[in-house]
């Protein structure tokens, strides 16, 4: 019958790698032989959870477990994959002798840490001008009690009694080729070749602890949605107090009620009365940084026309210069007219040479061109 590796560690079947490691560390602190000297039941439990962790952290072995098999069962589905972590090198070692190409020495207790990812949101104004943002992160940091050594009293690690310091142990499994010797990490020392007699009570011998920290990040002007900022050595501290990984802050930009961003360019819609579009005018626009921009509406500006303001867009993060601001003109035609306005527009229509008609490509004068000509008389 296949063993319940998930149940051994007390995790769900969809548990992540981090959740599996966390569950193992919690149980390892309880059943470690160094914490329970002479307790055979605790030692057996420790070996059991060590094997469970090894299986569930191996994608191939975990797949067999999820299919209802046991990758370590000599008679089950794991028989063919019984090459084990030693791989083909162990098979050649079995047939031709020698230490085997798959063998290696013990792993260093000091391991590099993993990178960490954090997401934060900024307004379009903050993305335009740049901003300093305070963020809170939960990562593994160096244990301030043992300073990464993992020992409660500063004592040195001792050679593992399970593997004799090799970091690996060998086992024989039966396969269609016969007996196959496999090599895998020692479950007692997890491949380090040594154990800590008196683990630090604060970190359990890991050399690191989880801690919440407040950091300040500099978000540069012009940053785009989805870009990541790298903060060197601000990620997870490694096992045994190893060097920390990097922290990546992924920045997302919130939508704006006036402006719309397209790369390094900005777009805004301005509403212009029909008469101002015909005769020309200017208007003031408050930019994202609070500065006021003057937009000139040339006489005869057409609906949908875009007025370009060079170097008024976003700062280019990876190159020189800035983008362009495009002001799209929305000509407002009145839907309700008072008597005076109607009378004036009637006069304009009377002096117009043409009324409504189907547009043709050979027309050289626009409607507004004709209106301006009448007003010049």
CATH number at residue 49: 1.10.287.110
Instruction: Tell me the DSSP string of 324-371.
Output: -EEEEEEEEPPSS--HHHHHHHHHHHHH-S--S----TT--S-HHHHH
Of 47, 19, 20, 17, the closest CA to residue 31 belongs to: 47
pLDDT digits (tens, 9 = 90+) for 253-300: 999 999 999 999 999 999 999 999 999 999 999 999 999 999 999 999
Same-domain pairing of 57 and 23 = yes
Same-domain pairing of 209 and 236 = yes
Read off the pLDDT band of 180 (50, 70, 90): confident
Alpha-helix residue ranges (DSSP H) falling in the chain: 5-9, 17-31, 40-56, 59-66, 88-96, 124-129, 274-279, 339-351, 367-376
Same-domain pairing of 249 and 310 = no
Same-domain pairing of 267 and 236 = no
pLDDT at position 78, please? 36
Take residue 126 and report the two structure tokens written for it. 């903050």
- Which amino acids are annotated as binding site for Zn(2+), given as ranges? 143, 146, 160, 163, 186, 189, 200, 203
Of 233, 254, 275, which closes a domain? Answer: 254
Same-domain pairing of 312 and 326 = yes
Of 224, 254, 284, which closes a domain? Answer: 254
Q: Establish if 94 belongs to a structural domain.
A: no
Same-domain pairing of 239 and 349 = no
Range of the domain at 207: 114-157+196-254
Alpha-carbon span 339 to 233, nearest angstrom: 73
pLDDT at position 58, please? 87
Nearest 5°: phi and psi at 345?
-70, -30
Alpha-carbon span 234 to 243, nearest angstrom: 10
- Which amino acids are annotated as binding site, given as ranges? 143, 146, 160, 163, 186, 189, 200, 203
Read off the pLDDT band of 303 (50, 70, 90): very high
Identify the residue whose tokens are 């785009």. 224
Mean pLDDT of 82-87: 37
Same-domain pairing of 229 and 140 = yes
Domain total of the chain: 4
**CA 104, 108, 113: angle at the middle one, nearest 5?**
125
Same-domain pairing of 227 and 247 = yes
CATH value at residue 238: 2.60.260.20
Same-domain pairing of 282 and 248 = no
Of 225, 254, 283, which closes a domain? Answer: 254
pLDDT digits (tens, 9 = 90+) for 122-173: 999 999 999 999 999 999 999 999 999 999 987 889 999 989 899 999 887 7
Same-domain pairing of 118 and 205 = yes
Same-domain pairing of 322 and 202 = no
Q: Establish if 100 belongs to a structural domain.
A: no
């Amino acid at each position: 019958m296949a063993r319940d590796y998930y149940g051994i560690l007390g995790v769900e079947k969809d548990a992540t790698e981090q959740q599996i490691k966390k569950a193992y560390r919690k149980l390892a602190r309880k059943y470690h032989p160094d914490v329970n000297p002479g307790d055979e039941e605790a030692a057996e439990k420790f070996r059991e959870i060590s094997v469970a962790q090894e299986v569930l952290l191996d994608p191939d072995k975990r797949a067999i477990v999820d299919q209802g098999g046991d990758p370590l069962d000599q008679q089950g589905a794991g028989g063919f994959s019984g090459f084990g972590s030693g791989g083909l090198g162990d098979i050649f070692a079995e047939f031709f002798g020698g230490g085997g190409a798959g063998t290696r020495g013990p792993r260093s207790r000091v391991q590099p840490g993993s990178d960490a990812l954090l997401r934060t949101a900024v307004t379009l104004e903050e993305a335009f001008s740049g901003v300093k943002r305070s963020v809170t992160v939960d990562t593994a940091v160096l244990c301030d009690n043992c300073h990464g050594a993992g020992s409660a009293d500063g004592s040195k690690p001792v050679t593992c009694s399970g593997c004799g310091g090799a970091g690996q142990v060998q086992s024989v499994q039966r396969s269609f080729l016969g007996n196959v010797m496999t090599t895998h990490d020692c479950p007692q020392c997890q491949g380090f070749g040594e154990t800590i007699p008196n683990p630090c009570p604060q970190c359990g011998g890991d050399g690191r602890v989880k801690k919440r920290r407040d950091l300040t990040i500099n978000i540069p002007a012009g940053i785009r949605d989805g870009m990541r900022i790298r903060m060197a050595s601000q990620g997870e501290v490694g096992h045994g107090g190893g060097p920390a990984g990097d922290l990546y802050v992924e920045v997302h930009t919130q939508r704006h009620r006036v402006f719309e961003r397209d790369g390094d360019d900005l777009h805004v819609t301005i509403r212009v009365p029909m008469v101002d579009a015909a005769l020309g005018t200017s208007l003031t626009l408050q930019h994202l940084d609070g500065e006021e921009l003057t937009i000139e509406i040339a006489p005869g500006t057409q609906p949908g026309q875009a007025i370009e303001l060079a170097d008024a867009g976003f700062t280019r993060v990876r190159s020189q210069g800035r983008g362009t601001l495009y002001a799209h003109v929305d000509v407002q035609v009145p839907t309700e007219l008072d008597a005076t306005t109607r009378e004036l527009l009637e006069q304009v229509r009377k002096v117009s040479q043409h009324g409504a008609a189907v547009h043709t490509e050979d027309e050289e004068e626009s409607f507004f061109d004709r209106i301006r000509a009448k007003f010049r008389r």
